[in-house]
Structure 1
């Protein structure tokens, strides 16, 4: 198809713009000065909106302030590295160093040197992240703003800022630049429910559109639709910002009022009919605030023929700092299946009227065996001896119910069973301690029990008496030093509140091989004039340990000075006592009950359900049955997948853009422009699912793909012929610009037909998935085999 013309050839026309993704940079007039800075500020605004959504996850909304600072700093550092011309490796290294420095200054100033992280900083950060992961599986938003949560959030924001800046200003992609922030907003929206959700969504819509306007102005595009017409940057800004405002208003005002917007979710991640996952904060998280405030607010009243510790639940997992629990709950109605008590018990009927308990747990004396006359549904776990409200209720407040418990009446002779030769799996789990528990815990426990009989009861009693005789009850507790844990600090200071007594007692018992856990609930409260109605207030909140003794089951002990459980004096030697007006109680001497060598018959433990408690290194949230994945898992998976996809997409787009720039540089001759037209046509077909095979020549590929193009199949085969000739013909034999124009026209027909044949799913995939364009085939000369 060589043409011969008279005279010198006319100058080659400007190459046709290469068709590509919707957000490709436009080759129009350059942007006005300063628009790049505006685009950077707009991208920062997108990240700040996503950061503001973290306020919904924390009890203290002010925790979001250091996160806003982190997001801003990260964007500034990312922009600085780009402007200084840093490459990928140097950019990543700078961002990591910036994150480490900021985390050290804002979160760990007490273990840093001149703001720089040290080995101690890294150790503390590692422990904080481990504790945060434990809480992540056990709490629901809003959660305490622990250092571990803040550290993980800060890292996520630095990663988001770095990835967004790279996508927006190095790869020049608009969509990929905002996806990381959108992933964070989605993550927080799944975990938290609040009225701010609509406001945040509207703000994000406005911020994203503002960034799109700034990005388009930065590229110097002249119009929103097509490439014709004028108006320039001012018109772009006016139309774009008007569109952003309109969309934000529609999102905030119209969206929540659309039909079905207030209906039930298509996929309910938090509640609903049938078995569902339940995440909640451990009752120990707020017990200290109840104790320190000594609240006189009435939590509940209970009618009972005898006083008891009104127990909420037991905590059987210990991570070195925090006690927690997990389990499966079934419907509670009538008889409650549980381990039959082996020792002497008496039935005690209790009628509760819950006023302001503000928790999901339903109090009951140990051990509930029958539920009746409940005016709301309750659920039951026999292994933990715990009643809770279903996932459809936020708390037990306002519920009344009657429950019968088998309260133990134990004497020392009932507890003299020797240490069993082997424990069942559930009890083995109740002896586990994490590897990083300080050695002083086991050493001190061995010293305390060194002079007593090795039977579990005698050792537990020795631990109780040691705490009561050498420690001081103090609501202020004690703070851990820079190089010690909370348990170490408590053992060193020998003063603290009930949570510390109960938790440390249980850890020391476990170090001796004795199954132990922590119970949380309330002391009896104030008895009324009738002698049977007890008013329980916030200041009655309490925690105590329970030890599993063969033949008797789970037995409460009382290591906290100034406290004593009713009905337990016979085997603990501790008279009934509860909160004192004086918040500091000095050590007391406990009168130990007489010992006896008469053994009690042992009864093997029969677990109601196999919970595999403590067998997994990852925390399992309490659940009401099988149910779908927890929203925490879903949210984490969504955020992780989104960030990975964005990272892959940004990398792929960078490769595609680099390839197109190379084509533009090569398209300075007629053969080069022909080959570029062929490459763009092949890219269009690849996006439509008709890419070439590795071993095909251009003609072979065109013959195969033409069958799917209908009447335009001839355009593809003709273009393949031009490309093959332009590639393999002798140098300089094809200089007629009409060949390039013909190739461009044929390529345009092929691309139009390929786009017309794409369904909606293929169009969406073509916008966000550049993988069809990444075949090594794209980088070789057209027509090569």
Structure 2
């Protein structure tokens, strides 16, 4: 076993373990994974120096590696640094940690129950690597490391610079493993060329694999996993609206909160699927990680906002009041989130919790002129056949789907329908019969859920992505202690529209008829929408844009100075050069040999000498301009069995150039027989040397005497 190859192969395992950085964070991975690889290297070196331990090496690596995992990840389970039964049980739980990690948002919380599977995976790869180094070709020993990298990419595929750095690291490790034990510096140039082309191919391949012209996010195995929902009662908050607004319950406190800046609403659940009778959401719940980043659909700058929330008696379900784009939640046991709808769920209500969320930084003009995001998940879900009475409504007159038309539709509801007073018994129901009754006549009175459901139905009919959200209005003012008190009478529903580059944005079609006891939202989103609404003309005056409205990319272009890197042409050129090198060089050498062979007389002998010289030179033997065939044979004495073939070529060259007699076809045949003997001898060399010689470029460039 070669120490250099051992270190390079284990470094590959370390690289694979660190590729899980998007899942757990680099700061939580380098110690446990690095310690496992270091311990493995030490054990392997000890066994190399003491051959009697070789048969015990796999067991020693496993035991030492597990101790390293316990000390670096499961230290809380040890007693005075020594493993306990709890440590052993925790190692057993690590066999299912990979699945629990898939059920979390990323970066996941660096808890031992989740993190442990990465160093355990690295340990398995280390054991296989050490054993393969003694039993297989060097390159095979890198397969476990590449397997770890592959598993990490199933969790989240690397993109951009990260993918390039991973590719460069793998390429360098391949070179380190394949370098001969006794490397000759005179062969450095061919190796450098091989390394450069190999790295270029890997880098270009990864760059192209991370480019998605259609804006899709990289593949992640997380999409097929969902955390188990809490066992608490799962009655939809939409079904509870009527009971919350009843005279008996309307004054009950749901929760209180403190925040430095006012908000206009609090959400419980977002619903985007409708079967004609019920609104539901079927997106997976995930365990809340250490921080949830905004999705790729949000391309504008965001501000982080924070609030302290205290649930009260009327908050009796598993849902927690939240905001769009939650980032972190503190002091809640095992919180779960549905990232698409920003729904927060807990198995048990906490006494209080801290919430941080991202709020987009846009103004009213940006909102009014923005486009809609037709790719938003659930935004254009099929609602089945619309009742004719609703399908015949055409409030937008066939205008193109933009935020301007979305706000115009909101104004249509505000103008033509009335929100029922919360002091009376509001109409209930949001299925097609109730919506048909509500929408079929102007000036009809409806509940907030009917406004929201009706808006979503007409919006989707006009290709505007929308969904229904249930939550609470925010109180206008706090009490003397700075607490905002939310009661059942603040419960209501509203629609959200997917804004290109911004994400989901709330609208208020049901605020047209405020009552004396209703709250008045004063948060940023409501204020921005109010300003945008004032500048939106009547639907008849709205002009369809000549091009697609702003989607948020323009801001990115401006920040980049309008510079676009032509990645597709770069890849096309790189791929063409790589193919030309891999296929073109051997083909050109074959054509050159045939051209030399077809020469007549002494020229055929000279061609045979040139062919033998170039074949030898491609294997790293230095050739000078004044060198004879016998000089070349002496220089190539380290190449086995090439001497007899070169001797035949030398005899033919002496006869053709110095005897003065005619060069018969037999003499030319003797020269080329010698060339074939040289080629057969070179085929006995290691496959890597033959591969390198086949792709060597220098012999294709003729010098003064190399025609």
Task: Answer whether TM exceeds 0.5 for this pair.
Answer: no
TM range (shorter): 0.3 to 0.5
TM-score norm. by structure 2 comes to: 0.39
TM-score norm. by structure 1 comes to: 0.36
